[in-house]
Amino acid sequence: MNHPHPELPYPPKLQPKTLRIVALGGLGEIGRNMTVFEYEGQLLIVDCGVLFPEESQPGIDLILPDFSYIRERLGDIVAVVLTHGHEDHIGAVPYLLRERSDIPVVGAKLTLAFTEAKLKERRITAPLVEVREGMVQKFGPFELEFVAVNHSIPDALAVAIKTPAGVVLATGDFKMDQLPLDGRITDLATFARLGAEGIDLFMVDSTNADVPGFTTPERDIAPTLDRVIRSTDRRVIVASFASHVHRIQQIIDVAVAHDRKVAYVGRSMVRNMKLAQDMGYLTVPEGVVVDAKKIEDYGDRIVMICTGSQGEPLAALSRMANGEHPIVVGKGDTVILASSLIPGNENPVFRVINELTRFGATVVHKGNAMVHVSGHAAAGELLYCYNIVKPKNVMPIHGEWRHLRANAELAIKTGVPRNNVLVVENGIAIDMADGYADVAGAVPVGYVYVDGQSIGEITESSLKDRRILGEEGFISVVVVIESQTGKIVAGPDIHARGFTEDNALFDEVKSKIEKALAQSFANGNNATHQLQQVVRRTVGSWVGDEHRRKPMIVPVVIEV
């Protein structure tokens, strides 16, 4: 359990007519977005997403927000509001609803469809409340107004949260693409109206705050996709997020223009694109999409759209790169990575690129062609928003520290007083009343690791052990001693994995172990645990001095 600021006390009891805001994820990181709003004893949650693991977290599938702050108060939750259907905003909903399944889940049509599919996989039924831009809904003491924003997925919403303590406008993820594929632009007119009425706290997407200018329109990548697919006679494999409906629409349009069939590869891709097509968000001409199991029937006239653009180990593209997938990538194939790199995923992605290149494929990615544009507002767009909304207080959200700081400086440049810009991290409680917002304390928050069927059982100590095993190796030492005399009856037997294959190497340390055990026994330290620590220290010191390594050492002392 990590306490973000030990010097800060636990927040005091909430005062009347005061709104408390606590982010349980999404600050100082890209992912795990979840913010809790409390007013008059009731809780509203905005977003509930997952974070994807880095290489320093071996074996971990997903990382969840830490629910411990609200676990004893699940009955006080009036709703979970989802701003859009990306994994870092909806992926943890099933894990929260396992603990209380009747929490109303509020979101736009496509967002709820993606979320419901996740819940069905886990046999969870929850009340779903569909909303759309322009609607006003009340949940407990919270009056919510939903505002259209443009993002890299249809149906994204900002939400204005109105209470007697003040009004919060949370953007969710957004950009200001003026020529979006679906014609649905960010509703700056409503932002301006809300600003004129008075925004007490503006919670703003920070992901591209350190990027100057304006984000490139989504449709500008179509010529590049067209050129790449037109110029190859062989198969094309495109890796994208399984929720990026706009990107996949463009890929389908180009495939149709060049008389190619399309196959979805990967369970989440198949599921999401069927949902998007059934609901009218994806337009696919009859007969274009074919079953991935029959791609051989179409030879080279196929475009495969798959998951794995972030190098995820179990996703389709990674398995192709490792030669573990039924689809074999070969010479002449073209692979397009139609996504950006999420921070922390660089090494797995480059490894996938290298392996596919080794197989003879041409790999096209953001670094060598314009096959991706961001879904997040750059600095120029954020400045527009600050000038339109004119908020009293600002809290940058959704970003690493460099993004949060850059966003804060933009707000200050537009005239928001520095003292009114709150750059905080997960677990920091912000109390707001009468137009003022300030830090009230901090609650313990940590990473909750999902490892197969295990949720929250893997600790930082477990991960440290895994890293040591992966990087330094493992040594076990078994010694059998006579309990009365301390004489060694058998051993020391030393076995190593991931350290050295030469068992003779350990001959010189065996005599050191024998001497150390004899000395310990002579000093009266003859308990099994104490003797095991003697063995651990002796082997550890020798390995450190002689080999500059720190393997995991497991001593076993058996008394007979």
Of residues 536 and 385, the one with the higher pLDDT is 385
pTM score:
0.80
Q: By C-alpha distance, which of 352, 403, 358 is closest to 382?
A: 403
Domain boundary among 364, 390, 406: 364
Answer whether residue 2 shows pLDDT above 50: no
- List Cα–Cα distances, 8 to 4, 5, 311, in angstroms: 9, 6, 38
Same domain, 209 and 225: no
Residue 344 pLDDT > 70? no
For 509-531, write each residue's pLDDT tens digit. Answer: 776 777 777 677 766 666 676 77
- Mean of all residue pLDDT scores within the chain: 85
CATH number, position 192: 3.60.15.10
**Same domain, residue pair 328 and 407:** no
Q: Which of 423, 452, 481 is the last residue of a domain?
A: 452
Statement to judge: residues 443 and 468 lie in one domain: no
User: 151 and 227: one domain?
Assistant: no
| Residue 220: Cβ within 10 Å count | 12
Q: What is the pLDDT of residue 294?
A: 84
Top pLDDT among 411 and 296 is at 411
516 with 550, same domain?
A: yes
Residue 193 within a domain: yes
**Cβ distance 163 to 142 under 8 Å?**
yes
DSSP bridge pairs for 143: 138, 162
The CATH number given to whatever domain includes residue 295 is 3.40.50.10710
Same domain, 448 and 465: no
Q: How far is CA 236 from CA 58, 301, 308, 327, 527, in A?
A: 31, 8, 15, 12, 66
Dihedral sign for Cα atoms in the order 413, 419, 421, 424: positive
pLDDT score of 452 more than 60: no
Distance of CA 352 to the CA centre of its chain: 19
If 0-12 CB within 10 Å is exposed, 13-18 middle and 19+ buried, where does residue 51 land? Answer: buried
Q: Are residues 358 and 478 in the same domain?
A: no
Q: 3-state DSSP call for residue 294?
A: helix
Mean pLDDT of all residues in 216-235 = 89
Q: Which domain holds residue 59?
A: 19-213+375-452
106-110, 203-207, 503-507, range with the lowest pLDDT: 503-507
Q: How confident is the model at residue 457 (pLDDT cuts 50, 70, 90)?
A: low
Inside any domain, residue 160: yes
Same domain, 339 and 447: no
Q: Which of these ranges, 15-24, 34-43, 216-225, has the smallest mean pLDDT?
A: 216-225
The domain that contains 467 carries what CATH number? 3.10.20.580
* Domain annotation covers residue 10: no
Q: pLDDT of 472-500, one tens digit each?
A: 566 777 777 776 666 676 667 777 766 65
- Choose one of 364, 394, 426: the last residue of a domain: 364
pLDDT bin (cut points 50, 70, 90) of residue 138 is: very high
Q: What is the DSSP letter of 102?
A: T
Q: Which residue has the higher pLDDT, 390 or 513?
A: 390
Instruction: With respect to residue 2, please indicate whether it lies within any of the assigned structural domains.
Output: no
Q: What is the per-residue pLDDT for 52?
A: 74
Residue 371's closest CA among 319, 299, 305? 305
Query: Per this entry, what is the length of the chain?
Result: 560
Beta bridge partners of 479: 557
Report yes or no on 13 lying in a domain.
no
The helix or strand, by DSSP H or E, that contains position 248, with its residue range, turns out to be helix 245-257
Quick check: is 325 in a domain? yes
In a shared domain, residues 485 and 526: yes
Q: Would you say residue 369 lies in a domain?
A: no
Question: What whole-number distance in Å separates Cα of residue 153 and Cα of residue 106?
Answer: 17
Contact 362, 334 (CB under 8 A): yes
Helix (H, G, I), strand (E, B) or coil at 201: strand
Say whether both 312 and 234 belong to one domain. Answer: yes
| 3, part of any domain | no
Residues 178 and 103 in one domain: yes
Q: How confident is the model at residue 3 (pLDDT cuts 50, 70, 90)?
A: very low
CA–CA distances in Å: residue 90 to residues 43, 47, 173: 18, 6, 13
Let me know whether 483 and 440 are in one domain: no
Please tell me the total count of domains within the chain: 3
In this structure, is the dihedral angle defined by the CA atoms of residues 411, 416, 418 and 423, taken in order, positive or negative? Answer: negative
